[in-house]
Amino acid sequence: MYSKTLSLPFLGTDRRARVTTVGWIMLFGAIIAGSTSTTFAKELSTAFSPLSLLVLSEMIVLTFTILSFGFFPLLKEVLSIKKKYIPALLLVGFTNSIVAPILVFTGLHMTQAVNAELYLRSYSFFLFIYAAIFLKEKITRTDMFALLCMTIGICIVALRGFQGSLTIAPGDLLVLSGAIVYAIGGIIFKVKLHKLHSEVVLCVRGMIAISFFFLFSPFTETVIIHEIRSFPLALLGSLLGYGFIARFLYMFGFYEAVERLEVHTVSLLLPLITVGSLVFAHLHLGEAIYWYHIVGAGFLIMGSIVMKYSSPKAHLEREMRHTNRQHV
C-alpha cells in the first residue's frame, strides 16, 4: 500500500536501516496518536449525539480508506464482491459500525475516559471466547494464561480493586457491551469474510453506517446539522484532534509500521496505547487514575501481549489490519 522507503537523509544510507528506523518512528507515532482517541471522543460526546459521533467516526475511517487505497480500486473491489459474502458484510456493518459505536459513544457520555479505555480493551477477551466456542480453536496453556490475565484485569477495574461489590456503572456497562458487540463482528469477519481484503470490509462498513444515519436522522430530535451549528468553538481543537490525530495519524502510522516491522513487534507494543490513554485522560481532562486502574491495565496489557505473541503471524496481521481501525 505504501512505499517501503522515505527520503529522510538524516537516517543514513543503508536502505534496510532506513526502513526499520522509519517503521519505529511510525509505530511510536501511532501509539502516541492512538492514545488521544478515547479522551477526544469523550469531549466530543458532550456536543454530539451518539448517532452523530457514529457518522463522524465512520466518515473519517471511510475517507482514510479511500485516500489509502484509491477510490476507483476500492469501488472495483466492492462491486466485485460475491453474493455469498453480502449477508455477512451487512451483519458486520450492523454490529461494528452501528450497534457497537452507539453503545460506546453513549457510554462515554456517562463514564470517564479512563474506564472506557480499559473496558474497550476487553475486546480481545471476548474475541478469544467466541473463537473457542464457534471456531473450536484449540486452547493452549498460553491462551489460558492470557485469558486469566484479562479476566483478572476486568474484575479489578469493575470491583475497583476489590474494595466493593460487583457493580458496574451504566456508562461502563454500555462501553463493555460495545466491546462485546465489536468482538461479535470480529468473529463474523474471521469466519465468513477472511477471504476479503480488510479495506473492502471497512469501506462497506462505512457506507452502511452513513446510510443508516441518513435514513434514521429524520426521526430523531437532534440532527447533525443542528449540532454543527451549535458546536462550541472551545471543542474545535478536540474535533481536529479526534479526526486528524486520533484517527488519521494513528491509522497512517499503524499501516506504515506494519509495512516495515515484524507484525509481532507491532502487536506487542500497540497495547501501550492503553497506558498513553490513561495518562492523556489525566492530563487533558483531569480524570483521576487510581491504583486499580493501573493494576487492571497491567493485567489487560499482559493478557493481550501473550495472546498476540502466540498467534500465527499471518492470522495476526490480518486481524490487526481489520480491527485497528475501529478504535473508538
Q: pLDDT tens across 139-154, in order?
A: 788 878 888 888 888 8
The DSSP-derived string for 100-126 is HHHHHHHHHTTS-HHHHHHHHTTHHHH
- Asked if 320 and 268 touch (Cβ cutoff 8 Å), the reply is no
Q: How high is the mean pLDDT of the chain?
A: 82
Least confident of 136-145, 152-161, 222-231: 222-231
Phi, psi of 3 (to 5 degrees): -65, 150
What are the grid coordinates assigned to 286, written together?
A: 483531569
Nearest to 117 by CA among 59, 161, 179: 179
Percent of the chain with pLDDT over 70: 86
- Asked if 205 and 58 touch (Cβ cutoff 8 Å), the reply is yes
pLDDT of residue 164: 62
Instruction: Say yes or no to pLDDT of 132 above 90.
Output: no
Least confident of 10-19, 201-210, 257-266, 267-276: 10-19
Least confident of 183-192, 224-233, 284-293: 224-233
Rg (CA), the chain: 19
Q: Give the C-alpha separation, 107 to 175, whole Å.
A: 5
| Conformational region of residue 187, where left means phi above 0, alpha means psi within -120 to 50, and beta covers everything else | alpha
Residue spans of the domains in the chain: they are: 14-323
Q: Give the C-alpha separation, 183 to 219, whole Å.
A: 29
Q: Give the C-alpha separation, 204 to 135, whole Å.
A: 24
pLDDT of residue 4: 43
More confident residue, 3 or 72: 72
Instruction: Say yes or no to pLDDT of 327 above 70.
Output: no
Q: Which residues of 199-222 are buried (b: 16+ CB within 10 A; e: fewer)?
A: bbbbbbbbebbbebbeeebeeeee
Chain centroid offset of residue 327 CA: 2
Summarised one tens digit per residue, pLDDT across range 158-175 is 887 777 666 678 899 999
Summarised one tens digit per residue, pLDDT across range 14-63 is 677 777 888 889 889 989 999 999 999 999 988 888 888 888 888 887 88
Nearest to 261 by CA among 29, 35, 22, 31: 22
Chain centroid offset of residue 32 CA: 14
Q: How large is the average pLDDT for residues 106-134?
A: 87
Q: Give the C-alpha separation, 216 to 54, whole Å.
A: 12
Instruction: Say yes or no to pLDDT of 13 above 60.
Output: no
What are the grid coordinates assigned to 48, written together?
A: 454530539
User: What is the residue type of 254?
Assistant: F
Nearest to 186 by CA among 135, 233, 231, 258: 135
pLDDT of residue 5: 43
- Asked if 30 and 254 touch (Cβ cutoff 8 Å), the reply is yes
Least confident of 49-58, 255-264, 269-278: 255-264
More confident residue, 263 or 249: 249
CA atoms within 13 A on the CB side of 134: 16
Kindly give, in sequence order, each residue whose CB lies less than 8 Å from that of residue 328, ignoring residues fewer than 6 positions away: 37, 38, 41, 57, 104, 108, 116, 120, 246
The most confident of 52-56, 223-227, 232-236, 250-254, by mean pLDDT: 232-236
The DSSP-derived string for 225-241 is HHHHHT--GGGHHHHHI
pLDDT of residue 321: 58
Instruction: Say yes or no to pLDDT of 217 above 90.
Output: no
